């Protein structure tokens, strides 16, 4: 295959509020593909070839895959069971992540590697992966929340856990640091890695509820501890927390010396610390190199409701959310990236699985999806607000890959283009929703 390369000879760094690559400003437009570790070598090659051909510069993907029991087939990186963590370095373990990193490097794509997930709804565990089940349930590794994560650590190490045990329990912290050390050292000198993301969307609660003592200081303290630990292992790569970007205007701060004022009064849970997240305090942690936030209007309300229809409200509130974080980047003089953004279409609504669920929307459930042209417009609008402002990077959620050869959860006879990658209702099989093609859009907005 022809290789599509960007200038990826060096490590991405930061200077003031900008990303830099090889001494010049670097803005990126990319995508998410949490599932790529589950593929064969050939399908990993196909996926990164197509991503690079579409001129996506960065891919965010999971660098973890935790299970409670050894599966009969498929990739897994770590077994968490009975107070013990066992790392898998084998051919069905971290060697799969090695292949992902090597292939990304081959095609000049940089990786944002995520180390754990806030979301891990408990389900009947499958012993195999990527296989269609007769009862219609989804196979292991199909959903982004089926790779283990915080609550699997909690269940393995604590008899009656709360979600925030992950942030405070010494045994869990030591186990997580042991895994971090194993993975971070593996790629510390590899410039294909853009940086480390501590967790996807850390909060005080998940499937397991948080304790009454969990607050913004709990998570910020954890971020300071883990980011400092990684920086001592790897000084080459950037670190971000991975939080959803929620604010806490009146919360006491551990590190932040100032605050970005919310655009309105009485702005609700995204600004009052309800999620246990204070993105400004997290951004001010010394070893956090850049800020992160996400945008999923299907699953979060970012501002007070509007009398308009869902699509118009979601698009306009999304613009305000991106602009708010652009202002935060300018205020705190650190780069900011929107690490995942999407909105579900009407066509994809039957496939939609919220992040704290393991099942698709039931038949007859009210449809909140938008028209395809509205999703197109939303992606263009949100990315333009960010990348023409102070947002340094934007990553769509998520890449949809056709033409895969070895993903048996799909009946190949029914797919003229071959098998397709996992789809939680957000898969984008049309390269870019920007309206220009990803090549034109990334080139026009990325330096």
Question: Region 60-65: what's the mean pLDDT?
Answer: 98
Average pLDDT value over all residues in the chain = 88
For residue 158, what pLDDT band results from cuts at 50, 70 and 90?
very high
Using the 8-state DSSP alphabet, how is residue 327 labeled? Answer: H
pLDDT of residue 98: 98
Task: Kindly state the percentage of the chain with pLDDT values over 70.
Answer: 86
What sign does the dihedral 156-160-163-165 (CA atoms) show?
negative
With tokens 């790629």, the residue in question is: 187
Encode pLDDT of 326-379 as tens digits. 999 999 999 999 999 999 999 999 999 999 998 888 887 788 899 999 999 999
Which of these ranges, 95-104, 279-288, 296-305, 356-365, has the smallest mean pLDDT? Answer: 356-365
Alpha helical stretches, state H, 339-405? 372-387
Whether residue 7 has pLDDT greater than 60: no
Provide the terminal-to-terminal Cα distance of the chain, rounded to the nearest Å: 26
The CATH number of the structural domain formed by 21-445 is 3.20.20.80
Give me 290's structure tokens.
Answer: 């850049």
Question: Region 129-144: what's the mean pLDDT?
Answer: 65
Whether residue 400 has pLDDT greater than 60: yes
What whole-number distance in Å separates Cα of residue 112 and Cα of residue 91?
Answer: 22
Question: Region 170-175: what's the mean pLDDT?
Answer: 98
Question: Region 81-109: what's the mean pLDDT?
Answer: 98
Neighbours of 280 (CB within 10 A): 25
What whole-number distance in Å separates Cα of residue 97 and Cα of residue 63?
Answer: 7
Encode pLDDT of 44-54 as tens digits. 999 999 999 99
Residues 6+ away with beta carbon under 8 Å from 139: 126, 128, 129, 130, 131, 132, 133, 409
pLDDT of residue 308: 76
Which of these ranges, 213-217, 315-319, 362-366, has the smallest mean pLDDT? Answer: 362-366
Give me 317's structure tokens.
Answer: 């509130």
Burial status of residue 287 (CB atoms within 10 A of its CB: 0-12, 13-18, 19 or more): middle
For residue 122, what pLDDT band results from cuts at 50, 70 and 90?
confident
Pairing label, strands 58-62, 66-67: unpaired
Give the CA distances from residue 124 to residues 128, 424, 444, in Å, rounded to whole numbers and listed in that order: 12, 18, 46
What whole-number distance in Å separates Cα of residue 420 and Cα of residue 406?
Answer: 10
Q: Would you tell me the crossing angle of helices 150-157 and 170-187 to the nearest 10 degrees?
A: 130
Task: Kindly state the percentage of the chain with pLDDT values over 90.
Answer: 76
What whole-number distance in Å separates Cα of residue 319 and Cα of residue 338?
Answer: 12
Q: How far is CA 117 from the centre of its chain?
A: 8
pLDDT of residue 409: 39
Q: Would you list the domain boundaries of the chain?
A: 21-445
């Amino acid at each position: 295959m022809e290789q599509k390369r960007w200038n990826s000879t060096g490590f991405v760094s930061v200077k003031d509020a900008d990303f830099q690559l090889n001494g010049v400003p670097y803005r990126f437009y990319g995508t998410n593909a949490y599932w790529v570790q589950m593929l064969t070598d050939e399908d990993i090659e196909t996926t990164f070839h197509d991503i690079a051909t579409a001129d996506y510069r960065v891919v965010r993907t999971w660098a973890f895959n935790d299970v409670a029991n050894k599966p009969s087939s498929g990739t897994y990186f770590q077994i968490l069971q009975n107070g013990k963590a066992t790392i898998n370095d084998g051919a069905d373990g971290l060697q799969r992540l090695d292949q992902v990193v090597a292939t990304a490097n081959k095609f000049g794509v940089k990786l944002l590697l995520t180390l754990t997930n806030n979301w891990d709804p408990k389900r009947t565990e499958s012993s195999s992966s990527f296989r269609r089940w007769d009862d219609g349930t989804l196979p292991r590794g199909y959903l982004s929340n089926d790779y283990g994560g915080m609550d699997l650590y909690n269940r393995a190490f604590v008899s009656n856990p709360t979600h925030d045990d992950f942030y405070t329990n010494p045994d869990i912290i030591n186990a997580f640091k042991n895994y971090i050390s194993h993975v971070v050292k593996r790629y510390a000198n590899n410039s294909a890695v853009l940086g480390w993301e501590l967790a996807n969307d850390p909060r005080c609660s998940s499937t397991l509820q948080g304790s009454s003592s969990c607050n913004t200081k709990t998570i910020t303290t954890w971020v300071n501890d883990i980011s400092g630990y990684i920086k001592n292992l790897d000084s080459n790569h950037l670190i971000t927390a991975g939080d959803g970007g929620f604010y806490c205007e009146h919360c006491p701060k551990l590190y932040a010396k100032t605050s970005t004022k919310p655009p309105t009064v009485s702005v609700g849970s995204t600004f009052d610390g309800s999620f246990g997240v204070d993105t400004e305090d997290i951004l001010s942690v010394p070893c956090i190199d850049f800020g992160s936030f996400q945008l999923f209007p299907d699953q979060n309300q970012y501002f007070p409701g509007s009398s308009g229809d869902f699509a118009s409200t979601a698009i306009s509130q999304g613009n305000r959310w991106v602009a708010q974080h652009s202002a935060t980047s300018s205020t705190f003089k650190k780069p900011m990236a929107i690490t995942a953004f999407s909105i579900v279409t009407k066509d994809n609504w039957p496939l939609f699985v919220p992040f704290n669920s393991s099942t698709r929307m039931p038949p007859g459930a009210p449809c909140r999806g938008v028209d395809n042209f509205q999703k197109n417009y939303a992606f263009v609008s949100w990315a333009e607000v960010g990348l023409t402002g102070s947002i340094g990077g934007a990553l769509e959620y998520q890449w949809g890959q056709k033409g895969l050869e070895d993903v048996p959860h799909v009946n190949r006879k029914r797919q003229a283009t071959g098998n397709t990658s996992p789809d939680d209702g957000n898969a984008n099989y049309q390269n870019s929703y920007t309206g220009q093609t990803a090549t034109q859009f990334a080139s026009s907005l990325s330096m």
